[in-house]
Amino acid sequence: MSITKFKLALIQLAVGTNKAENLLRAGRFIQEAAKKGAHLVTLPECFNSPYGTGYFAEYAEQLETGESSLALSSAAKENKIYLVGGSIPEKKDGKLYNTCTVWGPDGGLLAVHRKVHLFDIDIPGKIKFQESETLSPGNELTSFQMGDICKVGVGICYDIRFAEMAQIYARNDCRLLIYPGAFNLTTGPAHWELLQRCRAVDNQVYVATASPARSESSSYVAWGHSSAVSPWGEVIASTDEKESVVYADIDLEFLEQIRSQIPITHQRRPDMYEVVQKKN
């Protein structure tokens, strides 16, 4: 019998400057989530380091040998879960990336997503941030299969603003989209929930976001409010800015009901418009 419901856990981690402590804290929360029945666990963006262009080079690792990857692989295997490893600064071929790794219950690496859309914004009097000062963009969209349960699309933070990316995931049979992210105190209150609900309703999928917990002592202050949204656009689980774990039940039968009631998948007009995935 195939599984149509599973529990998702979003870990809103308090991230400090001590990488080893960040990894230990993440491991403890992963274990806690698994004990409470989570089948899929997600960490936040930059879970092993502070978020900021001044930190990326210092905390960057190679995926093959990095301590963060080794810790994630071990945690997934020990707890027999699927694990979306938020993101870490990655160094590869002389470049730095903001990279998410995905691990299976056997500890094997299932997918690697390098942030496609870099966070370069300038809101006068509020916030200016330029990821491109240090990071390079990824050039591939990323999804992974949870056994025979569900296909999941992955983006990182700013990727959620680009509707075409989510549309391609949905048309490639993803039922859940996960975005580890770190919106700030300007964009968070305005757009964090709005974007999640838009991507969910537009594509009739579940959408989940995992943020770091808020730290006022950090140079970049995260909004928090990790959440999960249903295909109907309802926020089904959320939290505040503090360190916590958010649990959500993903119901694939409910998703199919929504798609049958409002059948936008079959009502599109490809004779008039089309979103096409570039072939590498």
Contact 230, 254 (CB under 8 A): yes
DSSP code, position 262: S
> pLDDT 10s digit of each residue in the chain, 280 long?
578 999 999 999 999 999 999 999 999 999 999 999 999 999 999 999 999 999 999 999 999 899 999 999 999 999 999 999 999 999 999 999 999 999 999 999 999 999 999 999 899 988 889 999 999 999 999 999 999 999 999 999 999 999 999 999 999 999 999 999 999 999 999 999 999 999 999 999 999 999 999 997 778 999 999 999 999 999 999 999 999 999 999 999 999 999 999 999 899 999 999 898 877 6
Active-site residue (options: 45, 61, 193, 241):
45
Distances (CA, A) of 5 to 8, 37, 42, 118, 246: 10, 12, 17, 34, 17
HSE, CB side, 13 Å, CA atoms: give it for residue 151: 9
64 is catalytic: no
What tokens does 171 get?
């048309």
Beta-bridge partners for 111: 102
Which member of 19, 46, 115, 198 is catalytic?
115
Helix axes 67-79, 19-35, angle to 10 degrees: 10
Which pLDDT score, from 0 to 100, does residue 1 have?
52
115 is catalytic: yes
Q: What is the CATH number of domain 5-264?
A: 3.60.110.10
Q: Please compute, for residue 231, the number of CA atoms within 13 A of its CA located in the half-sphere on the CB side.
A: 22
Helix (H, G, I), strand (E, B) or coil at 179: strand
| Given 150, 157, 174, 198, the catalytic residue | 157
The pLDDT score that the predictor gives to residue 219 is 81
Look up 46 and say whether it is catalytic.
no
Query: How far is residue 228's CA from residue 250's CA, in Å, rounded to a whole number?
Result: 9
Map out the domains of the chain as residue ranges.
5-264
Instruction: Please calculate the CA angle 8-160-172 and round it to the nearest 5 degrees.
Output: 70
- What are the structure tokens assigned to 82, written together? 């699927």
Neighbours of 94 (CB within 10 A): 6
β-bridge pairing 40-42 and 82-84:
parallel
